[in-house]
Amino acid sequence: MSVAVDCSSEETADILVESQNSSLLENETEDIEEFFNVAMELAKNAGKVVRSAFSEKKNINTKLTGQDLVTETDQAVEKMLISSLKERFPTHSFIGEESVSAGKKCELTDNPTWIIDPIDGTNNFVHGNPCIAISIGLAVKKELLIGIVYNPIQERLYSAKKGQGAYCNNEEVTVSGQTELENALIYSEFGAHRDPEKLEIKFGNMYNIIMNGHGIRAQGSAALDMCGIACGEADAYVEYGIHVWDIAAGILIACEAGGIIMDPDTGGKVDLMSRRILCASSRSLANQLKNQVTPQSFPSD
Ligand code: LIP
């Protein structure tokens, strides 16, 4: 089943889903606090593992393309996060990048589901580039309730709980509020695929953006791109080809910081599994950016 997510307005950050909003959680507030506190501790512990491996020699494997890399640290961190969360919350479900890559079904149900990217920006990790992050999201009844994105190299811990604002290292963050593309700095990414036709469309989109805005930055991490929007370091982000684990946590953080999330094809609610995302500091900028990109389709997660 697809999941629809929308931040309903520029001022608030309602996460709306197509399924009914009744909660599976007995006592939602206490449960969310416990889930959040456990996940934050695990993110910090995972950060120690990633930080210590960052400057070590890495055993690198490739996945779908020669540029789609994975290391033993990605796999070890995901295994640690999932086994620890499963021990605390045995009835919960999990979607992890490396588990899916190893053949586990990628399925988002109404059950509380942890959506994990152990190292978002693996290519950066392999090359010793500090733009990397551990990304942990939690959806309940397909509603994003928790987002944690931790860059353990630059020591930036972004977090959000639904309806409670977005934070970086315990300081509340908000989007830039930029409304005009001509004055905007945009994040976008090249992705790991090397399909010539898809790349041609992607470069065309980047040409349109660079000709109409202040500039483009490609950090190599969707999670950090969305956290960058959340704290006003850039004004909008758009990408085709990302996966649900790249964006789940960042979507909630950007929403709770006052950002707008939309499907870049339709301008409507985002389907987390659709492999496309647009995030902006305002609805006006989101609409202007949407008009500069040509849609492209990737198989759903
Ligand atoms: C990365 C994404 C990024 C995308 C890269 C890569 P990974 O995630 O965050 O947006 O452009 O190709 O997929 O694979 O490093 O976890």
190-214 per-position pLDDT tens digit = 998 899 999 999 999 999 999 999 9
The boundaries of the domain holding residue 233 are: 2-15+175-290
Residue 117 annotated among the catalytic residues of the structure = yes
At 14 the pLDDT is 37
Task: Return the number of other C-beta atoms located less than 10 Å from residue 190's C-beta.
Answer: 15
∠28-168-55 over CA atoms, to 5°? 115
At 8 the pLDDT is 47
86: CATH: 3.30.540.10
Residue 120 annotated among the catalytic residues of the structure = yes
Q: How far apart are CA 166 and CA 299, in angstroms?
A: 31
- Distances, alpha carbon 57 to alpha carbons 2, 53, 61, 132, 221, in Å: 39, 8, 13, 17, 21
Query: Are the CB atoms for 144 and 219 separated by under 8 Å?
Result: no
Among 183-187, 193-197, 223-227, name the one with the lowest average pLDDT.
193-197
Q: How far apart are CA 255 and CA 91, in angstroms?
A: 28
Q: How far is the CA of 275 from the centre of ligand 1 (A)?
A: 11
Residues 225 and 112 reside in one and the same domain: no
Determine whether the shortest distance from the Cβ of 224 to ligand 1 is under 6 A.
Answer: no
63 band by pLDDT with thresholds 50, 70 and 90: confident
Q: How far apart are CA 150 and CA 135, in angstroms?
A: 7
Among 19-33, 43-57, 170-184, name the one with the lowest average pLDDT.
19-33
- Distances, alpha carbon 235 to alpha carbons 163, 173, 188, 243, 264, in Å: 22, 13, 11, 21, 15
* R_g of the chain, CA atoms, integer Å: 18
Sheet holding 215-217, edge to edge: 215-217, 185-188, 236-240, 276-280, 260-262
User: Of the residues 116, 122, 146, 301, which is catalytic?
Assistant: 122
Count of structural domains within the chain: 2
Query: Are the CB atoms for 104 and 113 separated by under 8 Å?
Result: no
Q: How far is the CA of 252 from the centre of ligand 1 (A)?
A: 18
Nearest CA to ligand 1 atom 4: 191
Determine whether the shortest distance from the Cβ of 238 to ligand 1 is under 6 A.
Answer: no
Residues 165 and 182 reside in one and the same domain: no
What is the share, in percent, of the chain residues with pLDDT greater than 70? 90
At 132 the pLDDT is 98
Q: Is the pLDDT of residue 287 over 60?
A: yes
Residues 260 and 148 reside in one and the same domain: no
**Token pair 């990302």 in the structure block, residue:** 242
Q: How far is the CA of 246 from the centre of ligand 1 (A)?
A: 7
Residue 263 lies in a domain: yes
Q: What is this structure's pTM? A: 0.92
Amino acid letter, residue 6? D
Nearest CA to ligand 1 atom 16: 120
Residues 155 and 52 reside in one and the same domain: yes
64 band by pLDDT with thresholds 50, 70 and 90: confident
Q: Is the pLDDT of residue 16 over 50?
A: no
The enclosing H or E element of 161 equals strand 156-161
**Token pair 């920006």 in the structure block, residue:** 121
Query: Are the CB atoms for 97 and 245 separated by under 8 Å?
Result: yes
In sequence order, what are the residues at sequence separation of 6 or more whose Cβ sits closer than 8 angstroms to the Cβ of residue 37?
none
Task: Return the number of other C-beta atoms located less than 10 Å from residue 284's C-beta.
Answer: 15
Residue 186 annotated among the catalytic residues of the structure = no
CA 62 from centroid of its chain's CA atoms? 22
Residue 169 lies in a domain: yes
Listing DSSP states for 198-222 in one string gives HHHHHHHHHHHHHHHSSEEE--S-H
In sequence order, what are the residues at sequence separation of 6 or more whose Cβ sits closer than 8 angstroms to the Cβ of residue 35?
89, 112, 138, 145, 146
Convert the pLDDT of each residue in 78-114 to its tens digit: 999 999 999 999 999 999 999 999 899 999 999 999 9
Determine whether the shortest distance from the Cβ of 242 to ligand 1 is under 6 A.
Answer: yes
Q: Give the pLDDT mean for 256-268.
A: 97
218: CATH: 3.40.190.80
Residues 141 and 203 reside in one and the same domain: no
Determine whether the shortest distance from the Cβ of 192 to ligand 1 is under 6 A.
Answer: yes
Query: Best of 246, 247, 278, 301 to mutate for ligand 1, by most ligand atoms within 8 A of CB?
Result: 246
Q: Is the pLDDT of residue 2 over 80?
A: no
Residues 71 and 84 reside in one and the same domain: yes
Q: How far is the CA of 191 from the centre of ligand 1 (A)?
A: 6
Amino acid letter, residue 104? K
Q: Is the pLDDT of residue 4 over 90?
A: no
Residue 20 lies in a domain: no
Q: Is the pLDDT of residue 20 over 50?
A: no
Convert the pLDDT of each residue in 106-143 to its tens digit: 999 999 999 999 999 999 999 999 999 999 999 999 99
The enclosing H or E element of 149 equals strand 143-151
Residues 186 and 284 reside in one and the same domain: yes
Residues 166 and 180 reside in one and the same domain: no
Q: What number does the ligand 1 atom closest to the CA of 97 have?
A: 16
